[in-house]
Amino acid sequence: MKKSPSNRYDPLSMAFHWVTAIAVLMAFILGPGGFGRLLHNGVDPGTHSDIVWHESLGILIFVLTALRLLWVAVRPAAPQVAMPGLMRLVSKLAHLALWTLLLITPITAFLTLGSEGAPLTLLGGLRVEQLGFIAHSFLAPLADWGDVHSLLGDAIIWLAGLHAVAALFHHIKLQDGVLVSMLPWIKVR
Ligand code: HEM
Ligand code: HEM
């Protein structure tokens, strides 16, 4: 049963939000360019720390997003800040797009590895040599999944950037408590 909304997100929602935001930024910075060329030249992606970190962070983001969605279903009600209907609609659409990108960007990465016959290489020497079930699925030949994945990786950063600008606009111009609702370190009355 959801209680009446407070003016802050609960601590677990804040933790999910900020750990995910940092992981997405780091995954983007470490996004491996020239991956196809490496494979073509017979280089083992597991010997490149940027790829290993990128894939590990990407999996972390995927797992956190799945757990976070479960939490959203049962958590205390999210804060409800009063705002015009159109602004609320745009904000809801932006969140929906972010949730979708947080889930499908990693999924397209698995399709990339499967269709290119590349191993999944993770921190701690963990690796899965072949994602054969993906390579043989009907999805593999439908697109150049490396290009799709890179495009979605760029899109999430652009959208998160706009989302951050919107949060700052709420704080500085509208002064309506939207940004503070997601900040763990600011006390409100
Ligand atoms: C939300 C999470 C992720 C984001 C934001 C992201 C972002 C990106 C970006 C921007 C690129 C293009 C880099 C460039 O061309 O300079 C890229 C490439 C790549 N990413 Fe991710 N990624 C994510 C998750 C993952 C995961 C989970 C994996 C593996 C399990 C992965 C594996 C790869 C691979 C193999 C490439 C090279 C694709 C190619 O060129 O064929 N990524 N990623
Ligand atoms: C990659 C970076 C980011 C991603 C993927 C992201 C994603 C999201 C998502 C999915 C929500 C809904 C959360 C929920 O219902 O629990 C949210 C809320 C929020 N985010 Fe972000 N975010 C990012 C970065 C940022 C940054 C940098 C800021 C601030 C400068 C920010 C400020 C906020 C605020 C204030 C909310 C609550 C908004 C509201 O309830 O209307 N986010 N974010």
Alpha-carbon dihedral angle through residues 115, 147, 121, 36, given to the nearest 10 degrees: 80
Per-residue pLDDT band at 188 (split at 50, 70, 90):
low
Residue 3 has pLDDT above 60, yes or no: no
Residue 148: closest CA among 88, 92, 106: 106
Q: How far apart are CA 131 and CA 110, in angstroms?
A: 8
How far apart CA 30 and CA 70 sit, in angstroms, is 28
pLDDT (0 to 100) of residue 5: 65
**Other beta carbons less than 10 A from residue 23's beta carbon:** 17
CA 113 to centroid of ligand 2, rounded, Å: 29
Question: Using one digit for the tens of pLDDT, what is the confidence trace for 160-185?
Answer: 999 999 999 999 999 999 999 999 98
Domains and CATH numbers, the chain: 11-182 (1.20.950)
pLDDT value for 1: 42
**Is there a contact between 110 and 133 (Cβ–Cβ < 8 Å)?**
no
The mean pLDDT of 4-15, rounded to a whole number, is 89
Pocket of ligand 1 (CB under 6 A): 24, 27-28, 31-33, 35-36, 54-55, 58-59, 61-62, 105-106, 109-110, 112-113, 120, 146, 149-150, 153-154, 156
**Atom in ligand 2 nearest the alpha carbon of residue 16:** 16
Sign of CA dihedral 106, 108, 109, 110: positive
**Ligand 1 centre from 22 Cα, in Å?**
16
Q: How far lies 102's CA from each of 25, 128, 151, in Å? A: 12, 22, 13
Picking from 128, 169, 142, the residue whose alpha carbon sits closest to that of residue 46 is 128
List, in sequence order, the alpha helices (H) in the chain. 11-29, 35-40, 49-74, 85-116, 132-135, 145-169
First to last CA, the chain: 25
**Which of 17, 60, 65, 175 maximizes ligand 2 atoms within 8 Å of its Cβ, making it the mutation to test the pocket?**
17
Q: Whose CA is nearest to atom 31 of ligand 2?
A: 164
The pTM of the full predicted model, rounded to 2 decimals, is 0.94
SS3 128: strand
Distance CA 59, CA 152 (A): 15
